[in-house]
Amino acid sequence: MSKSSINQNDGLVIYIKEQHEYRIEEPTFQEGNCLIIKMKDMVIIAIYRPPSYKNIDKFLSSLNLVLNNVTNYNNIVVIGDMNIDIGTDKTNINSDKYMNLTAFHGLLPAHNFVTRDASGTCIDHVFIKTRYPSMTIVPQTQITDHKPVLVNFYLEQPKSQYTTTMIKKIDTEKLYSDIFGCDFGPVLSNSNPNKSLDYFLTRIRTAIQNNTKVLTLSRRKKIIKPWITPGLLRCIRHRDKLHEKARCFPQNEINCLIYKRYRNFCNRLLKQIKINYDKEQINMAKNDNKKLWKVLKDMTNVTKKSGYTKELLNLKDTPQSSVDSINSFFYKCR
């Protein structure tokens, strides 16, 4: 429950199930109430803004400060009664400022339905920034003069198209033992050299086959880039673990300092090894122009043809239509 209040009719209350791990913060917020719920990979910002304030500049300044402080989260939800109408058929200065700020932070409106029938306005909002599939519902109820707004996230991420990598592993000690135990007498006693060779090769192949196991290579151990060694891969994994630990406990300065130092060390090491690898590839291909151009394209990531962007230069009937067309183009490029 929020502790600060502007008048007797405002405030926020949040209910969370006990099994969830979370932290709740109440930041300083001008002309409104705000509670921040921080979870493992999601932050929920609940806000109430009283309708008595006509100028929303102070409110937007506080909202901008809150959003700047949660940029390290991949999934952000802003929800609450803002008393700013963002209906599709209505535009005003306040809604434009408000929508521009949320768009600047990568937040998209989850609905634009009417949430207060008496005024025909959409003043109860949900803005989200996430890669999870989501669904927003505005139920038709008469509990209060405002309709409730529900948002649901499907947290099970879709399975990636991962190709299983199989590797063969030979038990060399057992192989040597089996080979030393083989009877190679027929190889020496047979007068036909071809049969002797066939017998010898059959024995060796059988021993290798009996001591070979086919294993599935873990995704964490699969090396995608040719210049990344197993040691570098372990370095990257350790850096990511430190990052997760620092993000979960940002108030722990020691964890944050350890992560930043190791991150800088790891990034410098990766950059230097990548540079050395590129130099080696260029030197190997310097006498073959075709191979050299292939190496240069791989280095600059221009192997794929760029998309057709001429349509961005075509003007529409109105400035609003032109801006909508550009926004639609870049939205599809995500």
Could you report the per-residue pLDDT of 197-221, keeping only the tens digit for each?
Answer: 888 999 899 999 999 988 876 766 6
Edge-first strand order for the sheet with 124-129 is 23-25, 33-38, 42-48, 75-81, 124-129, 108-109
23-153 CATH choice from 3.40.50.620, 3.60.10.10, 1.20.58.220, 3.40.50.2000: 3.60.10.10
SS3 state at 236: helix
| Helices 172-181 + 193-210 axis angle, to 10 | 140
Q: How do residues 268-309 score in pLDDT, each as one tens digit?
A: 998 999 899 889 989 988 888 888 888 888 887 775 555 556
Which residue's entry shows tokens 């991962």?
A: 162
Alpha-carbon gap, residue 10 to 29, rounded angstroms: 13
By C-alpha distance, which of 270, 275, 267 is closest to 299? 275
**Which pLDDT value is given to residue 46?**
93
Token pair in block for residue 151: 């948002």
- Whether the model pTM is above 0.85: no
What are the boundaries of each domain within the chain?
Answer: 23-153, 165-219, 227-287
Q: How do residues 1-15 score in pLDDT, each as one tens digit?
A: 666 766 666 788 888
**Which pLDDT value is given to residue 257?**
92
Q: What DSSP character marks residue 121?
A: B
Own/partner long-range contacts of 252-255 (Cβ < 8 Å, ≥24 apart): none
Residue 5 vs residue 23, higher pLDDT = 23
Q: Which residues partner with 167 through β-bridges?
A: 215
Q: What DSSP character marks residue 40?
A: S
Q: How do residues 72-112 score in pLDDT, each as one tens digit?
A: 888 999 999 998 898 866 668 888 899 899 999 989 999 98
- The proportion of the chain whose per-residue pLDDT surpasses 90, expressed as a percent, equals 20
Q: Are 41 and 75 in contact (CB under 8 A)?
A: yes
Which residue's entry shows tokens 């108030």?
A: 251
| Helices 57-68 + 93-104 axis angle, to 10 | 10
Token pair in block for residue 278: 């590129």
CA atoms within 13 A on the CB side of 145: 5
Mean pLDDT of 23-44: 89
Say if residue 43's pLDDT is above 90: yes
Mean pLDDT of the chain: 84
**Which pLDDT value is given to residue 311?**
66
